[in-house]
Structure 1
């Protein structure tokens, strides 16, 4: 699938010249399948591609990944990622590829593009915005399960992701799950076509060895396996638990000598923050992913049956602020006195609906009169974009002299009528 044209002015530069991204002007419009999509923002950029948030008059928002020509003036990066994505579509924890197109800008420089599902906050952003004590057990469990589900599927299909890191795990507000992105280094197990895989800080020992041999012009015995993905996930989960970036730690000699002891120390340091049994299960799960010998490392399938996933957790209020969903929960608005007068209660319902509809299409609104959820206002929007805008504009406003607290709320729980009475 391709599109004949797009209005994307750039500064001059010959194809394959290796223009730096800051020398390339941001596109204004993409013409995608006969429809004009406006570029709203650049979401990210790398040496080979940039990612933009785009929207059109008739369609919901999406993401465009635009590839620059490689050093040889070719499309290898685009063709590689397109090939992998087309082969692994259909799993709920892997980003959806909507289509591919060619962008012709006014300077007649064609670029290859992927039209992708628009996702939200990355685990990298969550690590930056989280507390120094680490994230909640609910969030760690949610992320771990979603990524392991994706890896189970990916590995069954014979693929190694080969660049698992916090920046490549993104939250889907509408599906309420984490999804994997960026398959530019992925390869079929046993057919590794890229020597330098994974990112510093999340690179498995066997990948480090392979890189060192390649730099010396030597060949290793065999390529890396799916085990490298489990190593990366183990480091990610350890960072989420500890609230500490571990790049320097995993490069240290102490880590190489006895990584298990360092993991034990991190968990003992946080033992007062979390309940003991889930902590031990999480510790053992992470340690099973961090064996230096890849043959002893847990598989994704085996990791999913860890006792850690049998324990139910409720989200922390910080989780509900950080992870957007289509449902907004408003606190500090309704007094008990408002709930027992039917006329006043109905007036409040209508007032709240009218106010919330200023920010988007409201599908439903609920104010429970009894616990659980007594006095909380739950607003279900048509999509997470509307609820995000409402959360941004309502947070900190006053209602009857009180400051409004606005968090998101799990759509799945709301649909089941499961309302948290209190979320600490």
Structure 2
């Protein structure tokens, strides 16, 4: 009989929090009466505040009496009649209702009103709960650099994944006639159960040819034509033209450049040097980072980003033409940082199983049984796999029914010991696991 018990819990590793509007990390004071929303006749409990903006706040909420039936979502509550709260609500609601159904756009579950004890009525959106934002990923990438890794951005796998997902979202959005108008890292979030990046926050969006918002986009991600339009509006000059879908392509180009380089570019793109020598700056960023990436994919990504950052809007690539770039035909494997940062329903446990256990059938079966029993403490296990040969030899792959269960397992198992060994727990792409594709090496 194999002796494979878990013990010695070490400090817990916090899982990433989703971020919508300006991020906050406050949690609800549990010593006070719980904050509640009544949504469609059911009581939902506010677990934490995810974001705070001028006109709206975003909360993580949960519903359900038993853990097995608990449902989590996000509520975006707009402030009544202050700072354009009602306008923002009606604007975002109308856009989301018109574009629902794409896997790379946040899902709107419904709308409702919240009646406060002071008699104030606030409009609310009930939204899909998402995970870590690209903004968070950029911060975490910078932290990794500071602890001794050479200056570099995220893996080609992650850059490609994000680029493809958001281009597909933009291609759909633009076909529907909409301009997002506020594309930035904070408005791109990871959907753990769908394993994809998704667009959020459509408060500045408008129909192309009918721009009803004067000031669009955020500093650092603002296209030149939007910068000009904003300046004219501030000067009180009326213009008879609006921005086009090309402004979204520009923003995405900057985001991808930041992800690849690992450098926040706000000061750079607002400088005169950027306006005069943008191509040279892009070339320099790629030359500085090319030593850690294969050459051909780097050139394809560089050319794709350059085609997004052309000064003339009509010359920029569209979302649909960008998806035809040869950059998207190259397969990449994720780095271990990617698998730690991006939750999925599949958990991968490392540093657990010795080769000797794999070739003793009785011990192998005992380990399978012990692992499944332990992993079921944290959620519903769909399947469990321990490969006997490479790739994945001795690693434990646990498929949970959803990402909430796998995230809880990752949080509680990381740092534990198993048969005297410290557990390393990462996530693993569900799509690859389902295909039986196990990465031989993770860079």
TM range (shorter): over 0.9
Matched, 1:409 2:409: no
| 1:156 paired residue number | 175
2:89 to 60, 78, 81: 78
Cα contact 1:326–1:387 (8 A) shared by 2: yes
Q: In structure 2, how many angstroms separate the alpha carbons of the residues matched to 1:228 and 1:342?
A: 60
2:53 to 46, 49, 52: 46
| 1:266 paired residue number | 285
Superposed CA RMSD: 1.5
1:195 to 214, 217, 221: 214
Q: In structure 2, how many angstroms separate the alpha carbons of the residues matched to 1:73 and 1:247?
A: 27
Q: In structure 1, how many angstroms separate the alpha carbons of the residues matched to 2:329 and 2:74?
A: 35
Matched, 1:114 2:114: no
Give the TM-score normalised by structure 2.
0.89
| Superposed CA offset, 1:139-187 (max 9, x none) | 0000000000000000000000000000000000000000000000000
Cα contact 1:165–1:233 (8 A) shared by 2: yes
Q: In structure 2, how many angstroms separate the alpha carbons of the residues matched to 1:320 and 1:74?
A: 38
Cα offset for 1:420?
Answer: 1.4
| 1:127 paired residue number | 138
Cα offset for 1:400?
Answer: 1.8
Pair 74,337 (structure 1): closer, same or farther in 2 beyond 3 Å: closer
| 2:37 paired residue number | 30
Q: In structure 2, how many angstroms separate the alpha carbons of the residues matched to 1:282 and 1:416?
A: 27
Cα offset for 1:358?
Answer: 1.3
How many aligned residue pairs are there?
402
Q: In structure 2, how many angstroms separate the alpha carbons of the residues matched to 1:209 and 1:195?
A: 11
- Structure 2 gap segments, 5+ residues each: 1-23, 145-150
Cα contact 2:346–2:406 (8 A) shared by 1: yes
Cα contact 2:181–2:205 (8 A) shared by 1: yes
Q: In structure 1, how many angstroms separate the alpha carbons of the residues matched to 2:262 and 2:172?
A: 29
The answer to which structure, 1 or 2, has the higher relative contact order (CA under 8 A, 6+ apart) is 2
SS in 1 for 2:313: coil
Cα offset for 1:72?
Answer: 7.2
- Structure 1 gap segments, 5+ residues each: 1-20
1:101 to 112, 123, 127: 112
| Superposed CA offset, 1:188-222 (max 9, x none) | 00000001000010000000000100000002341
Q: In structure 2, how many angstroms separate the alpha carbons of the residues matched to 1:111 and 1:243?
A: 40
| 1:63 paired residue number | 74
